[in-house]
Amino acid sequence: MSFSHTHRTIDTIWRMESAKIIAGLARMVRDVGLAEDLAQDALVIALNRWPETGIPDHPGAWLMTTAKRRAIDLIRRTKLRDQKYVEVAHSMDLYTEVDIDDALDEEISDDLLRLIFMTCHPVLSQDARVALTLRLLCGLTTDEIARSFLVAESTIAQRIVRAKRTLSANKVPFEVPIQEELKDRLSTVLEVLYLMFNEGYSATSGVDWIRPLLCQEALRLGRVLAEIAPYEPEVHGLVALMEIQSSRFRTRVNSKGEPILLMDQNRAQWDQLLIRRGLTALERSRKLGRPPGPYSLQAAISACHAQAPTAAETDWIRISALYEALSRVMPSPIVELNRAVAISMAFGPTFGLQIVDELNTEPSMREYHLLPSVRGDLLLKLGRYDEARTEFERAASLTENERERILLLNRAAACNLGTS
């Protein structure tokens, strides 16, 4: 295995394992910033050693063992050495790799959920909570998070640094809150799981179009949350959305990893069990009798696609109405862009293009690649091939996902032939 290939493999392992490692360390040291630093130390050691020694059979366990040893070394050097080191010594062993793997499987649900609630503490601002949790839970880079928020990378970096300092200064406990305190933090936790799932469903950057493990983790945590907060309709709404969206994973890419757009997917291969689970969760949300929130409305939109036997039979008029409702409860340029797509499918590309053109003046959308992508698609349907090609090329220049860039460049090239 080449040096560069090993480093790419380590990066993939880190993205998969970092949240588990940080969660386990946070339980141990009760300081999320310190937990991340210790985990990063273990990563640096792996980057130095594994290219020479090879990647171990249980890389996540190796990283956790290494990080915990660093934590114990640190505790030995602190003023709390006598008391804390005795506590740690009695509460844990230095496991073998396999032991650590087994222990992680048993502890992972509680630890990750505790970490989410810790980083979503009301002592932090809403934006800081979400940014920090995406950084720790998803292993997203500051650039990827910045693109999700449509803000500068430096802004996100500052939020994350300040958030970790604030949690440490306020000695925020590593626990799942109960009753009213749970409700206070719930909206942020839902937003984090939503963004976590979205990053897995359509990766911001890298060479992969999708990151299924990230989606699976978000969905699993959502299911756990539904057990903790069964009377919160938006919890069930988000679970419904993730279940239904997950049903399409087998059809989102071809055998080469290339993206397959929604209208071109083989619906016979959509996972019917996940669709049924999603529809059941959506019905639970409705039965709680409150006005639908943003996640329930998005789940209802996803359900429209799932229940259409073919792409041509999709009820785009209903989807347009649902997006209209969504724009009222969660107004944003991105929602408006999606509404434009639905309007174009229901009433024709000219009507969708009018909405998209209005979004061109929105400052936060200037570097958002999906705006020119959607505009290019609408122009293509109107037979304005030269303009469409320009938009697809611009979209390709803005995206940081390699698979998406190739897709957009192929669409631009097709404009020269007057095809879609």
Per-position pLDDT tens, the chain of length 420: 555 677 778 887 887 788 888 888 888 888 888 888 999 999 999 999 998 888 888 898 899 999 998 888 887 776 555 555 455 555 554 444 444 344 333 333 467 778 888 888 888 888 888 888 888 876 778 887 887 777 888 999 999 999 999 988 888 887 777 767 777 788 888 988 898 898 888 877 666 778 888 888 889 889 988 988 899 999 999 999 999 999 999 999 888 888 899 999 999 999 999 999 999 999 999 999 999 999 999 999 999 999 999 999 999 999 999 999 999 999 999 999 999 999 999 999 999 999 999 998 898 898 899 999 999 999 999 999 999 999 999 999 999 889 999 999 999 999 987 665
Q: Report the distance separating Cα 47 and Cα 25, nearest Å.
A: 20
Which residue do the tokens 């993206």 mark?
A: 259
Please indicate, yes or no, whether the overall pTM of this predicted structure exceeds 0.85: no
CA angle centred on 373, ends 247 and 365, rounded to 5° = 100
Note every long-range contact of 299-304, with CB atoms under 8 Å and residues 24 or more positions apart, other chains counting: 299/237, 299/238, 299/240, 299/241, 299/244, 301/326, 302/240, 302/241, 302/244, 302/245, 302/278, 303/240, 303/244, 303/278, 303/279
The one-letter amino acid at 248: R
Burial annotation 25-39 (CB, 10 A radius, 16+ → b, else e): bbbbbbbbbbbbbbb
Rg (CA), the chain: 23
Burial, 331: exposed, middle or buried (Cβ in 10 Å; 0-12, 13-18, 19+)?
A: exposed
Cα–Cα distance between 373 and 243 in angstroms, integer?
27
The candidate with the shortest Cα–Cα distance to 216, out of 235, 193, 234, 233, is: 193
63 CB-contact burial (10 Å; exposed 0-12 / middle 13-18 / buried 19+): buried
Kindly tell me the number of DSSP H helices and DSSP E strands found in the chain.
20, 2
Q: Could you identify the residue written with the tokens 């990080």? A: 67
